[in-house]
Amino acid sequence: APDNFTFKTTPFQHQIEGFEYGLKKDRFLLGDEQGLGKTKQAIDIAVAKKLALGYKHCLIICGVNGLKWNWESEVATHSNEKSKILGSKVNKKGRKVIMGTEDKLYDLEHLPDAYFLITNVESLRSEQIVTAIQKQISLGNINMVIMDEIHKCKNPTSQQGKALLKVKGETKIALSGTPLMNNPLDLYIVLKWLGYESNAFYSFKNHYCVMGGFGGYEIVGYRNLDQLQSNLNDIMLRRLKKDVLDLPDKLHSTEYVEMSKAQAKIYNEVSEEIRANIDKIVVS
């Protein structure tokens, strides 16, 4: 780690090992089991890269839309860096809300004074946004990309799957707590995005899948899995809770989830009804 780097929050031993692993690799998959603090490790690595290499911005892409707020909170907890959810504004009621594509594009074209830029993978469905990200990467303004919950983006034929493969970056970290070897095809996007797979999806599929059935288009089995597992092991750091001995008792955290307009309407209706009938509730 650079001499001027210090952990803002005290890491566990496995997080120190993950941090050191990440400083040695520019492209890897952090596959720790849920609850082992992948987010903190990724944030610490990103801050250390900034101090050591002069990185200007780190882009965080959330595979789950509502986790943008969680990442914003985690950045504030584990670092002294600022973060900005692309397209976010404070409305007249003083609440932070996330606007549409035009506002996200504005933030990408006028990069804010925040090291961490946060968005969701659905944003990549916009060719304009992907182009704006590519431009900032090529200009050296976005140097690092963290793809959280990358297993949510496993379909290489989907719009966001294709878009993710266009988002490069000097340093790339993929995060996933979900075992990825259940279906070998789920690994294609991971390996391709990280730069460890040069073949097109068709060739990848034929190398690891046994085709048969009607017309020979159905997957009837898998092959070369030892080779695939070996390739994965070379680029993945994965620890399980049962193997990590220094964990404390369960840690509780509050995560904020973004509601759709329909969900917010139902929530408000239920909330108003409870308030109206609060005096009728009997506490036993």
Predicted model pTM: 0.85
Q: Record the tokens describing residue 37, joined without a space.
A: 């603090």
pLDDT in tens, 69-119: 999 999 999 999 999 999 999 888 888 888 899 999 999 999 999 999 999
Which residues is 153 bridged to in the sheet?
Answer: none
Helix H or strand E segment including 58: strand 58-62
Which residues is 173 bridged to in the sheet?
Answer: 28, 146
* Cα–Cα distance for residue pair 207/40, rounded to 1 Å: 36
| Residue 268 neighbours by CB distance under 10 Å | 11
284, pLDDT greater than 50: no
Identity of residue 59: L
pLDDT in tens, 250-264: 555 555 666 667 777
State mean pLDDT over 228-242: 93
Nearest to 189 by CA among 215, 223, 171, 163: 163
pLDDT above 90: percentage of residues in the chain = 72
* Cα–Cα distance for residue pair 60/262, rounded to 1 Å: 27
209, pLDDT greater than 80: yes
2, pLDDT greater than 60: yes
Give, in degrees to the nearest 5, the angle at Cα 65 between 271 and 250: 75
- Residue 254 has a pLDDT of 59
Helix H or strand E segment including 126: none
* Cα–Cα distance for residue pair 270/158, rounded to 1 Å: 37
* Cα–Cα distance for residue pair 46/16, rounded to 1 Å: 14
Mean pLDDT of the chain: 90
Confidence of residue 282 (pLDDT cuts 50, 70, 90): low
